[in-house]
Amino acid sequence: MFLVSDLCNMLEGYMKKEHVADVYRAYLFSADAHEGQKRMSGEPYIYHPLAVARILAELKMDHKSIMAAILHDVIEDTETAKDQLAKEFDAEVADLVDGVSKLTQITFESKAEAQAENFRKLFLAMARDIRVILIKLADRVHNMRTIGIMPPEKRRRIARETLDIYVPIANRLGMNNIRVELQDLGFEALYPKRYETLEDAVKRARGNRKEIVEKMQSAIVERLQHEGIEAQVDGREKHLYSIYQKMRVKRLTFSEVFDVYAFRIIVDSVDICYRTLGTVHNLYKPLPGKFKDYIAIPKNNGYQSLHTVLFGPYGVPIEVQIRTREMHRIAETGIASHWLYKQNDENTPVSSQTKASEWLRGLLEMQKSSGTSMEFLENVKIDLFPDVVYVFSPKGTIIELPRNATPVDFAYAIHTDIGNSCVAVKINRRLTPLRTQLQTGQTVEIITAPGAKPNPSWLNFVVTGKARTHIRYYLKNLQKNEALVLGRRLLERSLSSFSLSLDRVPASRLKQTIKTYNLEDFDALLEDIGLGNRLALLVARQLAGEVKTETKKSKKRARATLPSGTGLKNMFTRYAPSWLGGDKNSPTPLAIQGTEGIIVNYARCCRPIPGDPIIGVFSPGKGIVVHMENCKNVRDSKKHPENWIDLQWESQTKGEFPVEVRVEVSNQRGVLATVAAAIAELDANIENVNVADRDGRYTDLVFVITVKDRDHLASILRHIRGIDQVSKITRTKQ
């Protein structure tokens, strides 16, 4: 049993006596607060905080971290308040304890929301003081060590959370020892049968490997000594979760995974690391493409080492890691090594500390732009699972990004304003689409333009949490502004049916209508109308209802213009589009210019373009979806005529609109290029093309092209018909 006296003995090895006394005082306070409380195992609760403090003491953390570890559950599980801790100790200790504590005083709609909000609180506290997460990781390690007492379902839930959140955090902070232990403990709790089977297999195979490992280790040591290199050479064995993951992801058998021998070589300096690399490459031939230099370009958590794979004796592969003693210490303890430097009053910069600080700054940016705690947690998870690529800015700065990152991710990694205004990219000095996935070693140059805006389609390919958060944040505000403008236009149009305008509606009636709909203000009402969540006609009727009682004249006018009944059938008769049998005296169709933005969408089924007769359908949360009048999807929607709205194109439309054309061509070499060139000649962009073979003689080319209007499309069709290989061309609709 680990006692407070044991803890104090550990601390006296690296801590001042007065600091050890502060830790003991924190223990007395915590023991008193937890008096009478027991864990599920039946042992006194205070043993858990002591065990957490021991884990941090093994990392040689500072005394305030140890104090906070001993006190970490007093706010959450006892009557102790944060103010009391600040008064008894100091504000720094109180903030650390509060950062680790869950939100227990707030009621959430679901467990998922509660978990997300608690993690949001934890990450924000962590951004203020990184020690918060170190205490939380130590807490999780001890909980996982004692998880066997938990019911199976709770055990699996905690194990899954550990593997999904805490393991990636430990990895992100470079704390390899913590990461490995949490992985294996989580694996054992989540899949006990698989763990047991794999553990038995490793034990059986270990005996057969011992002789081979010793021979290879002796050969490496002998060659290094011959070259005058002093080094510590250790054989490494993959831990169980790593073996399991490799078997599962790469679909390998156990023998294929375990038939890899690994060694770690620790030397005194960076220069000797590279000399050692040359020595082992002379001893055993290196495997092409398997060398990685994490010393020149450290990993995102500050990890540094040389990695290489060699052809060993007996035809077996050998994985070798070469690093300095300092690199090894940082690789094992990561960000925690920063406090050891502080204890020794050294100013040596720690790479993992710098990397962690950069990540935390990114977390704060994400938090400010995330709408909900669930969205924030989703974006954090994205950043916690990076398979890294390294690319260069035009000035030679190395930018680290997750695997599959695109130039848009790169732009947002440099600065939010660059991301918001990027319009194009040059990769290795060649213009490339923004959705191109970046590769290590490329030079990326972002081209920006004043007034450029994020494109909603970027969300389909960006991979970093920062890029996704800022694009969503911008679009959310853009959608709100556009919805306000469209909502006002729709409401004014509906009020015109009652010979009214918003300026003539009394303020009292506006206030009453907002209250009736349980909204915050008039802007919220307009936004609801613009997004299609509320019908402008019904709002207009309510506003007009108050006006008819103002004067006899207005009363007469209101009676004359209001529908004869309140049912949807009567509303439809008067306000439905005239082509569906509506009243020809219905309000003037709403004019569409083509630049309304994301709350006016164009249906993919019929792809309307300026010049086409059009109709609008309200889609909740999206606004108006524009269809062609004869679109079968609109014809099939007569069950909900109240969601339709008459539309027309402005006389001067702007922008480009996608349209699909099918070109039947004779099956000849180069015909696709010929047709594509003809489209480009008439200033149309090709968004997509599909090729479908019909028979041996003919092929169908299906293009999605952007045009300005029907006249532009007609000229393109005429131009393509003039090509000898083209037998037929039509505009298609689904």
Please give the positions annotated as active site.
76-77
- Given a contact cutoff of 8 angstroms between Cβ atoms, the answer to whether 615 and 627 are in contact is yes
- Given a contact cutoff of 8 angstroms between Cβ atoms, the answer to whether 313 and 256 are in contact is no
d(CA 494, CA 497): 6
CA angle 689, 691, 693 (to 5 degrees): 165
Neighbour tally for 154: CB within 10 Å: 11
- Given a contact cutoff of 8 angstroms between Cβ atoms, the answer to whether 255 and 233 are in contact is no
Collapsed DSSP state (helix, strand, coil) of residue 325: helix
- Given a contact cutoff of 8 angstroms between Cβ atoms, the answer to whether 658 and 679 are in contact is no
Cα separation of the two ends of the chain = 73
- Given a contact cutoff of 8 angstroms between Cβ atoms, the answer to whether 305 and 331 are in contact is yes
d(CA 48, CA 39): 8
- Given a contact cutoff of 8 angstroms between Cβ atoms, the answer to whether 141 and 200 are in contact is no
β-strand partners of 427: 430, 444
d(CA 314, CA 563): 91
Q: Cα Rg for the chain, rounded, in angstroms? A: 34
Q: How far is CA 213 from CA 216, 246, 314, 316, in A?
A: 5, 21, 12, 11
Tokens of 330: 């940082």
Tokens of 412: 């947002």
Label residue 523 exposed, middle or buried (CB < 10 Å: 0-12, 13-18, 19+). Answer: middle
Residues 6+ apart with CB under 8 A from 672: 689, 691, 701
